[in-house]
């Protein structure tokens, strides 16, 4: 749940690959890694185009973690 809050604040996340790939888009703003080399490569990619990844993070949060999605009319 912390990752959802980080994404909602417009910040990219790097989290352990635990199967989220099945329902969460990865590659922009949200990256999954299982080793140090992968996380280092992801960090470089984020820093190369940080404004794009910040916007993508916010978009993912709105699309997948919004109140309207889980509690419509609340």
Q: What's residue 27's pLDDT?
A: 81
Question: What is the 3-class SS of the chain, one letter each residue?
Answer: CHHHHHHHCCCCEEEECCCHHHCCCCCCCEEEECCHHHHHHHHHHHHHCHHHHHHHHHHHHHHHCCHHHHCCCC
- What is the number of domains present in the chain? 1
Span 30-68, pLDDT tens digits: 888 877 777 888 889 899 999 999 999 999 999 988 887
With CA atoms as reference, report the closest residue to 6 among 69, 57, 62, 67: 57
Q: What's residue 49's pLDDT?
A: 93
Under 8 Å between Cβ of 12 and 48:
no
Structural domain span for residue 46: 2-70
């Amino acid at each position: 749940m912390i990752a959802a809050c980080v994404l909602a604040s417009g910040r990219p996340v790097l989290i352990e690959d635990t199967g989220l790939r099945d329902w969460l888009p990865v590659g922009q703003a949200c990256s999954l890694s299982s080793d140090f080399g992968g996380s280092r490569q992801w960090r470089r990619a984020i820093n190369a185009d940080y404004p794009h990844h910040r916007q993508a993070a916010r978009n993912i949060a709105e699309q997948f973690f919004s109140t309207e999605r889980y509690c419509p009319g609340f």
